[in-house]
A and B are shown apart, each in its own frame.
Chain A
Amino acid sequence: MKAWVINFSLNHAKRVYLLMAIVSLGLAAFIPTIQIDTDPENMLPDDQPDRVFHNQVKQEFALHDAIVVGMVNDESIYNTDSLSAIHQLSNKILTIDGVVNPDVMSLSVVDNIEQTGEGSIRFEYMMKNPPSSESEAAEIQQNVADLPLLLDTLVSGDGKAASIYVPIKDKNESYRISQAIQQHIDALNTDDQFHITGLPVAEDTFGYEMFVQMGISAPLAAAVIFLLLLFFFRNLTIVIAPMIIAMATVLSTMGLLIACGFKVHIMSSMIAIFLMPIAVVDSVHVMSEFADRFKPGADVKQVVKDVISHLFRPMLFTSITSTAGFASLALTPIPPVQIFGVFVGFGILLAFIWTILFMPAYISRMSEKQLKALQAKLHGDQQSLIARFIPKLGLFSTSWSKAIVIAFMTVLAFSIVGIEKIQINDNPVRWFKQDHRIRIADRVLNDHFAGTYDAFLVLSHTKGTAYATELLQRLTDVTEQLEDSSLKSKLTTLLNNTSEQTFNASEFIAVIDDAFFAEEPVAAEAVDAGLLEQAMSLLEQYQSETQYFTQPETLQYMASLQQALNKSGVVGKSNSVVDLVKTVNRELFSGEQKDFVLPDSQAGVAQTLLQYQSSHRPQDLWHMVNPSYSRAVVWLQLTSGDNQDMLTVMDTVDAFTKQNPLPEGMSLKWAGKTYINVVWQDAMVSGMLDSLISAFIVVFIMMVILFRSIIFGLMAMLPLSLTITFIYGLIGWVGKDYDMPIAVLSALTLGLSVDFAIHFIDRTRSIYAKTGDFYKTIQLMFEEPGRAITRNAIVIAIGFTPLLFAPLVPYITVGIFLATIMTVSALVTLLMLPAIFNLGKSKFFPKQQDNQNNEFK
Chain B
Amino acid sequence: MNLNNLICKGSLIIAVALFVVVTSAYASETEGLTAATIVNKSNLASYYAGTDGRSDARMKIVDSQDRVQYRQFVMLRKNQQENMKQHFLVVFSRPTDVRDTVFLVDKKPQSDDDRWLYLPGLDLVKRISSGDKRTSFVGSNFYYEDVSGRSPLLDNHELINQDEENYYLKHTPKSPETVEFAYYSSTINKQTFLPMHVIYYDSNDKPLRTMEVNQVKIIESFPTVTEATLTDHRLNGHTLIQFRFMDYNLGIPEQVFSERSLRNPPDKWLQRTQ
* Chain A interfacial positions (CB closer than 8 Å to B): 59-60, 62, 95, 101-102, 116, 118-125, 128-129, 506, 509-510, 513, 516-517, 521, 524, 540-541, 543-544, 547, 550, 585, 588-589, 599, 601-608, 610-611, 613-616, 618-619, 621-622, 626-628
Across-interface contacts of B255 in A (CB, < 8 A): none
Q: A610-B138, A616-B132 are in contact. Are A120 and B126 (CB under 8 A)?
A: yes
Contact of A122 among B94, B97, B131, B177 (CB under 8 A): B131
Q: Does B111 contact A (CB under 8 A)?
A: no
Question: Considering the complex, which residues of chain B in the window 106-147 have a beta carbon less than 8 Å from any beta carbon of chain A?
Answer: 117, 119-122, 124, 126-129, 131-132, 134-139, 144
- The reply to whether B97 and A606 contact each other, CB–CB distance below 8 Å, is yes
- Of all A-B residue pairs in the complex, the 10 with the closest CB atoms, nearest first, are A613-B139, A603-B121, A120-B127, A606-B97, A604-B121, A122-B129, A540-B96, A607-B119, A618-B136, A116-B129
Report B125 CB to chain A, min CB distance, Å.
Answer: 10
Across-interface contacts of A550 in B (CB, < 8 A): 97
Report B181 CB to chain A, min CB distance, Å.
Answer: 13
Give Cα A59–Cα B70 distance, bound, in whole angstroms.
22
- The reply to whether A129 and B177 contact each other, CB–CB distance below 8 Å, is yes
CB nearest neighbor in B for A629: B97
A543-B96, A602-B97 given; name 18 further pairs at CB < 8 Å: A62-B64, A62-B65, A120-B126, A123-B132, A123-B135, A128-B177, A540-B96, A585-B122, A588-B124, A606-B95, A611-B119, A616-B134, A618-B136, A621-B139, A626-B67, A627-B63, A627-B68, A627-B69
Give Cα A703–Cα B111 distance, bound, in whole angstroms.
93
Report B191 CB to chain A, min CB distance, Å.
Answer: 22
Q: A118-B127, A618-B136 are in contact. Are A607 and B122 (CB under 8 A)?
A: yes
Give Cα A599–Cα B245 distance, bound, in whole angstroms.
35
Across-interface contacts of B119 in A (CB, < 8 A): 588, 604, 607-608, 611
Contact of A588 among B122, B204, B235 (CB under 8 A): B122
Across-interface contacts of B65 in A (CB, < 8 A): 59-60, 62
Report B267 CB to chain A, min CB distance, Å.
Answer: 14
Give Cα A224–Cα B58 distance, bound, in whole angstroms.
76
Give Cα A610–Cα B204 distance, bound, in whole angstroms.
33
Contact of B138 among A521, A603, A614, A619 (CB under 8 A): A614
- The reply to whether A599 and B128 contact each other, CB–CB distance below 8 Å, is no
Question: Considering the complex, which residues of chain B in the window 148-203 have a beta carbon less than 8 Å from any beta carbon of chain A?
Answer: 177
Q: Does B79 contact A (CB under 8 A)?
A: no
Most B CB within 10 A of own CB, among A102, A118, A541: A102
- The reply to whether B121 and A618 contact each other, CB–CB distance below 8 Å, is no
- The reply to whether A521 and B124 contact each other, CB–CB distance below 8 Å, is no
- The reply to whether B234 and A614 contact each other, CB–CB distance below 8 Å, is no
Q: Does B9 contact A (CB under 8 A)?
A: no
Across-interface contacts of A521 in B (CB, < 8 A): 244-245
Report B202 CB to chain A, min CB distance, Å.
Answer: 9
- The reply to whether A513 and B128 contact each other, CB–CB distance below 8 Å, is no
Across-interface contacts of B139 in A (CB, < 8 A): 610, 613-614, 618, 621
Across-interface contacts of A604 in B (CB, < 8 A): 119, 121-122
- The reply to whether A544 and B96 contact each other, CB–CB distance below 8 Å, is yes
Report A577 CB to chain B, min CB distance, Å.
Answer: 14
CB nearest neighbor in A for B114: A120
Across-interface contacts of A101 in B (CB, < 8 A): 234
CB nearest neighbor in B for A101: B234
Give Cα A26–Cα B234 distance, bound, in whole angstroms.
48
Across-interface contacts of B120 in A (CB, < 8 A): 603, 607
Most A CB within 10 A of own CB, among B132, B135, B234, B235: B135
CB nearest neighbor in B for A118: B127
- The reply to whether B67 and A627 contact each other, CB–CB distance below 8 Å, is yes
Across-interface contacts of A524 in B (CB, < 8 A): 272
- The reply to whether A588 and B135 contact each other, CB–CB distance below 8 Å, is no
Across-interface contacts of B56 in A (CB, < 8 A): 517
Give Cα A585–Cα B119 distance, bound, in whole angstroms.
11
CB nearest neighbor in B for A128: B177
Report A220 CB to chain B, min CB distance, Å.
Answer: 48
The number of residue pairs between A and B whose CB atoms lie closer than 8 Å in the complex comes to 130
CB nearest neighbor in B for A516: B244
Interface flags for B58-74 (1: CB within 8 Å of A; 0: not) read 10100111011110100
Give Cα A676–Cα B72 distance, bound, in whole angstroms.
42
Report A590 CB to chain B, min CB distance, Å.
Answer: 11
Give Cα A62–Cα B63 distance, bound, in whole angstroms.
11
Contact of B234 among A102, A119, A543, A601 (CB under 8 A): A102
Give Cα A517–Cα B58 distance, bound, in whole angstroms.
8
Across-interface contacts of A621 in B (CB, < 8 A): 139
Across-interface contacts of A619 in B (CB, < 8 A): 63, 235, 237
- The reply to whether A125 and B136 contact each other, CB–CB distance below 8 Å, is no
Q: A602-B97, A603-B121, A604-B119 are in contact. Are A615 and B63 (CB under 8 A)?
A: no
Most A CB within 10 A of own CB, among B101, B129, B131, B245: B129
Q: Does B98 contact A (CB under 8 A)?
A: yes
- The reply to whether B70 and A589 contact each other, CB–CB distance below 8 Å, is no
Report A122 CB to chain B, min CB distance, Å.
Answer: 4
- The reply to whether B122 and A543 contact each other, CB–CB distance below 8 Å, is no
- The reply to whether A510 and B68 contact each other, CB–CB distance below 8 Å, is yes
Give Cα A517–Cα B243 distance, bound, in whole angstroms.
8
- The reply to whether B126 and A121 contact each other, CB–CB distance below 8 Å, is yes
Q: A95-B204, A510-B68, A613-B136 are in contact. Are A120 and B98 (CB under 8 A)?
A: no
- The reply to whether B122 and A599 contact each other, CB–CB distance below 8 Å, is yes
Across-interface contacts of A606 in B (CB, < 8 A): 95, 97-98, 121
Question: Considering the complex, which residues of chain B in the window 240-273 have a beta carbon less than 8 Å from any beta carbon of chain A?
Answer: 242, 244-245, 272
Contact of A121 among B72, B128, B242 (CB under 8 A): B128
CB nearest neighbor in B for A507: B68
- The reply to whether B135 and A616 contact each other, CB–CB distance below 8 Å, is yes
Across-interface contacts of A543 in B (CB, < 8 A): 95-96
Contact of A605 among B63, B68, B99, B121 (CB under 8 A): B121
Report A384 CB to chain B, min CB distance, Å.
Answer: 72
Give Cα A618–Cα B142 distance, bound, in whole angstroms.
11
Across-interface contacts of B136 in A (CB, < 8 A): 613-616, 618
Question: Considering the complex, which residues of chain B in the window 48-93 have a beta carbon less than 8 Å from any beta carbon of chain A?
Answer: 56, 58, 60, 63-65, 67-70, 72
Question: Considering the complex, which residues of chain B in the window 16-61 have a beta carbon less than 8 Å from any beta carbon of chain A?
Answer: 56, 58, 60
- The reply to whether A614 and B135 contact each other, CB–CB distance below 8 Å, is yes
- The reply to whether B101 and A607 contact each other, CB–CB distance below 8 Å, is yes
22 CB contacts below 8 A, A to B, read: A62-B65, A102-B235, A119-B126, A121-B129, A122-B128, A122-B129, A123-B135, A506-B70, A521-B244, A521-B245, A540-B94, A541-B96, A603-B97, A604-B122, A607-B101, A607-B122, A611-B119, A613-B139, A614-B137, A614-B139, A616-B134, A627-B69
